[in-house]
Structures are given as C-alpha cells and as structure tokens.
C-alpha cells in the first residue's frame, strides 16, 4: 500500500505528489511517518478516557491547516516531529496498551493511512487487542476510509463548519461540509451505533465533535441540526467550548474566547435537537490542556 504515496490522493486535497521521491503535498508529509507524542490522555470524552486514559498518538502534519489550530506546532507543513518506521509505531501502540490505555487514539493520521495499517497489522500479531480510534478533522476521502474498514473500531471526526464561507476563510476548504458529511456517513456505516463495555467505555461507534467558534452560533445551529437530521441517535455528539485564540490578528473576529452565553445557546440547541453526547466544562479553555509535543512515549528503532 506504500505505492499509494507515489501519487498521493489520501485526503480530499488530492495533491497527486510523489511522496516516495521526497515530494510533499498540502499537508507537508513525505513518505516517512512523523509523530510528536504517544501517551495516555485523560482529557477526551468520558467513554474514551475512562479512568486510565486514551492512548493518544499525535501525528505530525495535517491536510486541513485551520488558522486557529491549537496543535499548530505539529500540524503545520513545516513541522516534522520524530521519524518512525511502521515497526516502531507498532511498538508504541503496544507500549500504550501495557500502560493501561483503554484504546489507541490515532490523532490526525489520514496522510499516514497505509503506514498505520501496516503498523496495526504488526501490533495485532504481537497482541494488540484494545479498540482502535481514528481521531479526525472530518475532512476525509471515502476511498481512504474504506481502506480502514475492519481496522478502526471508533471514529472521532470533527464536523467543523456548515458554511462554505467560514470553511474557506478558516481552513482553505470551501468544500468542507460536503466532504465531511460524506465521510462521516461512511464512518457511521462502518461502525454502527455506539457500543460500550460493562464499565461504560466505548468499544465501537462514531462520536462527532463540534468546536464552537466565537460569533459563529448560527453555523453551530446548522451543524447540530444537520447531525440530528442525518444520523440522530446513531452517533454521539461532543459540543466543545475549548477554543483558544493564538495570534489571530489577521482574523480579528476569532481573536476572543467563546462567551458563556454563546456556549449556553449551543447547549440549548443540542438538547432541542434531541442529540446525545457531551458538553465541555469552562476550565478546558487555555493552553494548559495542550500536551507537550516533545516525542514522549514514541518507541524509536534502534
């Protein structure tokens, strides 16, 4: 499957660059795996973090490049991180399992899907058995998601925008909604309704995240209504309020945090549409909830 990188169309940007010859597309990734952290993470939604944490693996680079990204130190095209072989990535998965992770949480990995599948195959042969979670911007190609069928137990996509204007202004992706709706539909098809173990931990299913942005309450209303109409109780929804502005002088409308009233309005809409899932506490706002992207936990080949 590594040949898929010779004319890369893994994400909806479909750059077509030859990553095997050093080419880098919109995301900035070449043909090597680059990651920034592999550690237990206790700040995900309760059915994912449980009591011991989700085993998050943060990959470098991103195909969306949102202007407000809180992980910008690793998501930008210029970021690198720690270079890993598929075998080393597999060992990182197994290390997280030994530490007690409830799941393996693959954060922003679309540009590494062939290598991730290879790594999961290696790890499963060596005893990896906990659920695999695909944590995504929602900007995904259905053909790539179908490669992941049978490998992923839980999908955790964003549904960021309804408006093509905001999607273009904030993420250079005017087609975001159309792409995300099709992608999330494929995720729901693969996983079915949420399934839990006896301790309330999620074993299978799709949970959609929506990060509320300041001043965009109308867009949030459209997103929540669309989720309720399309998928209803087939999915869980996480309504997030953790938006933190970083150097947003070129986007002054986004250079503030969400107000309590804005988030309360979002929560009311959530309830009115009959959605099930999670709200977020005010204390999640700020940089203290951003982990250190220093290579922690990554198993390097000797």
pLDDT in tens, 71-95: 988 998 888 899 999 999 999 999 9
For the chain, the average pLDDT equals: 94
Q: Answer for the pair 216, 258: CB distance below 8 angstroms, yes or no.
A: no
pLDDT at 284: 62
Query: Could you give the CA distance from residue 273 to residue 247 in angstroms, rounded to a whole number?
Result: 35
Residue 164 has pLDDT above 90, yes or no: yes
The three-class DSSP label of residue 130 is: coil
pLDDT value for 87: 97
Q: Which of these ranges, 139-143, 226-230, 250-254, has the smallest mean pLDDT? A: 250-254
pLDDT tier for residue 246 given thresholds of 50, 70 and 90: confident
Residue whose C-alpha is closest to residue 280's, from 202, 209, 226: 209
Mean pLDDT confidence for 259-268: 97
pLDDT at res. 283: 65
Place of tokens 């949970």: 207
**What's the pLDDT score for residue 286?**
56
Tell me which of 42-56, 74-88, 193-207 is least confident. Answer: 74-88
Q: Which residues of 54-87 are buried (b: 16+ CB within 10 A; e: fewer)?
A: bbbbbbbbbbbbbebbbbbebbeeebebbebbbe
Tell me how far apart the alpha carbons of residues 18 and 63 are, in angstroms, rounded to a whole number.
16
Residue 295, judged by CB atoms within 10 A of its CB (0-12, 13-18, 19+), counts as middle
CA dihedral 248, 252, 254, 256 (to 10 degrees): 90
Q: What are 243's two structure tokens?
A: 């938006």
154 pLDDT band (50/70/90 cuts)?
very high
pLDDT of residue 122: 98
Torsion angles phi and psi, residue 183, rounded to 5: -65, -45
pLDDT band at 288 (very low <50, low <70, confident <90, very high): low
Contacts of residue 229, Cβ cutoff 8 Å, sequence gap at least 6: none
294 pLDDT band, cuts 50/70/90, is confident
The set of residues, in sequence order, having a beta carbon less than 8 Å from that of 292 and lying 6+ positions away, is 37
CA dist 143 and 163 (Å) reads 24
**CA–CA separation, 43 vs 51, rounded Å?**
11
H or E element at residue 83? strand 82-84
pLDDT at 290: 78
Question: pLDDT value at position 285?
Answer: 58
Tens of pLDDT, residue by residue over 224-243, are 999 999 999 999 999 999 99
Confidence of residue 255 (pLDDT cuts 50, 70, 90): very high
State the pTM of this model.
0.96
CA atoms of 64 and 28, how far apart (whole Å): 11
CB distance 14 to 110 below 8 Å = no
In this predicted structure, the answer to whether residue 64 has a pLDDT above a threshold of 70 is: yes
- What letter does residue 141 receive in the DSSP assignment? -
Contact 154, 38 (CB under 8 A): no
* 7-17 CB burial, b ≥16 within 10 A, e <16: ebbbbbbebeb
* Structure confidence by residue, pLDDT tens digits, 97-137: 999 999 999 999 999 999 999 999 999 999 999 999 999 99
Q: Which percentage of the chain shows pLDDT scores above 90?
A: 88
């Amino acid at each position: 499957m590594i040949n898929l990188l010779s004319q890369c169309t893994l994400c909806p940007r479909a750059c077509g660059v030859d990553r095997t010859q050093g080419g880098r597309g919109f995301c900035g990734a070449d043909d090597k795996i680059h990651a920034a952290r592999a550690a237990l993470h206790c700040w995900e939604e309760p059915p994912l973090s449980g009591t011991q944490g989700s085993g998050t693996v943060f990959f470098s680079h991103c195909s969306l490049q949102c202007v407000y990204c809180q992980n910008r130190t690793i998501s930008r095209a210029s970021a690198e991180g720690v270079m890993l072989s598929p075998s080393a990535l597999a060992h990182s998965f197994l290390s997280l399992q030994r530490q007690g992770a409830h799941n393996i949480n693959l954060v922003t990995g679309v540009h590494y899907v062939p290598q991730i599948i290879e790594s999961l195959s290696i790890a499963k042969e060596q005893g990896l058995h906990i659920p695999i979670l695909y944590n995504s911007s929602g900007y995904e190609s259905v053909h790539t998601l179908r490669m992941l069928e049978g490998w992923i137990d839980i999908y955790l996509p964003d549904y960021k925008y309804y408006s093509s204007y905001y999607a273009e202004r904030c993420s250079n992706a005017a087609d975001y909604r159309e792409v995300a709706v099709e992608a999330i539909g494929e995720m729901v098809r693969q996983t079915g309704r949420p399934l839990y173990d006896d301790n309330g931990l999620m074993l299978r299913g799709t949970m959609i995240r929506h990060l509320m942005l300041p001043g965009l309450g109308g867009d949030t209303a459209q997103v929540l209504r669309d989720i309720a109409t399309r998928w209803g109780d087939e999915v869980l929804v996480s309504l997030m309020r953790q938006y933190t502005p970083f150097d947003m002088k070129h986007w002054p409308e986004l250079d503030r945090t969400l107000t309590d009233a804005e988030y309360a309005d979002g929560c009311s809409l959530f309830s009115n549409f009959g959605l099930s899932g999670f709200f977020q506490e005010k204390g999640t706002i700020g940089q203290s909830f951003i982990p250190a992207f220093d290579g922690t936990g990554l198993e390097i080949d000797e």
